[in-house]
Amino acid sequence: MLDTPHIHEDGAVALDAETQAKYEHLQAILRDMESVLIAYSGGVDSALLLKVAYDVLGERALGAIASSPAYAAEETDEAVTVAHQLHLPLITLETHEMEDERYVKNDVNRCYFCKTELFSHLVPLAKQRNMRYIAYGVNKDDDGDYRPGQRAAREFEVRGPLKEAGMGKREIRAIARMLGMPVWDKPAMACFSSRIPYGSRVDVASLQMVYKAEKLLHELGFRQLRVRHHDKIARIEVERSEIPRLVEEEMSRTVTDGLRKIGYTYVTVDLLGYRTGSLNETFIKKKKTS
Please give the positions annotated as active site: 191
Dmax over CA atoms of the chain, in Å, equals: 58
**CA 144: distance to chain centroid?**
15
User: Exposed e or buried b for every residue in 29-54, given b needs 16+ CB within 10 A?
Assistant: bbeebebbbbbbbbbbbbbbbbbbbb
